[in-house]
Amino acid sequence: MMIKPYVRQGEGEEAVSPLQWMDGDMSSPDGDASDSSHHYRAGGVQQDRELGSEDAHEEDEEDDEEGQEDENECKRRGPKKKRVTKARQERFRVRRVKANARERSRMHGLNDALESLRTIMPCHSKTQKLSKIETLRLARNYICALSEALEGGLSTESRAFMETLCKGLSQPTSNLVAGCLQLGPGSGAVMRPEDRHRVRAAAAPLGGVVSYSSPGLPSPPYGTFDSAHLLHLRAMKGGVYENHSPNEYNAGGVGTPPYDGPPTPPLSISSNLVPKQEPSPHYPPPHHYSPSPVEQGLYQTQTGYDVHLEGPYDSYHPQHMPPRQITSVYRD
DNA sequence: TAGGCCATCTGGTCCT
DNA sequence: AGGACCAGATGGCCTA
């Protein structure tokens, strides 16, 4: 079964309401409409429920009795049930179809807005699309991190900046962020240039101190980096959480965030790295001998970032080798 | 194969 | 009455 392609409203096929199926011979729609037959099934169940109270009950008697009074019904107590005429059923069907189209359009608009949000994320990637929830979380973290950069002089190249960005994110997303920000001094791919410009411009009139020449990140223990743990320590010491509103983190006097998402697992830089098959333009292959990309320490993240790792590598026994350290990150 | 993510349909509620 | 918004339900796709 093929899933119905993402069809914009007005771009193609007309949505078919479950009612159209129900109105028919109860056979699932064929042709294009069968692509989402599960929806008809799902809708059909709900449609039974919907019509069950009055419409479906009276469906049998509606046609010939339209306009006539049922004596038995007159004697019934309670509000008089509306008769289900074909016209009424048709009105309902049309209303439902229109409502479905509106809802689709609304969700498409929501998705468009989400997509535009994705594009301004600090680690926007064409190859690894952030999920909706991760996009929202990262956006929230990004705003917090930039606010801290403006207010407190937090370096955008500092570990704290990355910790703030990674707060509450899933491991793949944390790896994505790490792949973009995991740099030492002089690496040059920490922050999007336009964002640097924005921060600088915003900080200038405020007298904000925005440092881009921080000592840089200490070489992380390659493979594991428990940002959640560090964040927690910072919070206990009055770290990054101080900038947040009291009711956000201190509700109930606990001092811990009400929701940090799932516990951030240890950040594994390596888990998101795959051997880079093609030589990076930044690393033209030597003419004589060309060691494998892995041997060269070249990896490509799923986000399109090229990572260079420093240290020896034994392709036959990689598990016995000491962890190599990320020395530079390039973007394709 | 389980779980995450997603698109879609649907009925309820609120508002104009 | 009709539209916007929301949450629940459902099933397909993808990946670890």
What are A311's strand-pairing partners? Answer: none
pLDDT tens, position by position, A81-94: 566 777 877 888 88
Q: How far is the CA of A27 from the C1' of C3 (A)?
A: 32
CA→C1' distance for A107 and C7 (Å): 14
Q: Which two tokens stand for residue A127?
A: 């190859």
**Quick check: A104 CB within 7 A of strand B?**
yes
Q: What local confidence, expressed as pLDDT, does residue A331 receive?
A: 42
> What was the pLDDT predicted at A121?
84
Instruction: Look at residue A81 in the predicted model and tell me its pLDDT.
Output: 58
Characterize A83-121 residue by residue with b for buried, 16 or more Cβ atoms within 10 angstroms of its Cβ, and e for exposed: bbeeeebeebbeebbeebeeeeeeeeeeeeeeeebbeeb
Q: Which residues of chain A have pLDDT under 70?
A: 1-83, 181-332
* C-alpha–C-alpha distance, residues A276 and A109, integer Å: 37
Q: How far is the CA of A273 from the C1' of B9 (A)?
A: 40
Which nt is closest to the CA of A16, judged by C1'?
A: B9
Of A residues 44-63, those with CB within 7 angstroms of nucleic strand C are: 45-46
Q: What are the structure tokens assigned to A37, written together?
A: 């037959």
Tokens for A32?
A: 């294009």
Dist CA A285 CA A266 (whole Å): 34
Q: Which nucleotide is nearest to A93 (CA to C1')?
A: B10
Q: Which of residues 118-147 of A touch strand B (CB under 7 A)?
A: 129, 131-134
Q: In the structure encoding, which two tokens stand for residue A178, read together?
A: 């790490």
Q: What is residue A39's predicted lDDT score, i.e. its pLDDT?
A: 36
d(CA A136, C1' C3) / Å: 27
Is the C-beta of residue A108 closer than 7 Å to nucleic acid chain B?
yes
Say how far apart CA A306 and CA A190 lie, in whole Å.
Answer: 13
Whether the beta carbon of A98 falls within 7 A of nucleic chain C: the reply is yes
- As beta bridge partners, residue A305 has A331
Does A16 contact strand B, using a CB cutoff of 7 Å?
yes
CA–CA gap between residue A39 and residue A60 (Å, rounded): 26
DSSP code of A279?
P
Distance of CA A192 to the CA centre of its chain: 20
Q: Supply the pLDDT for residue A154.
A: 76
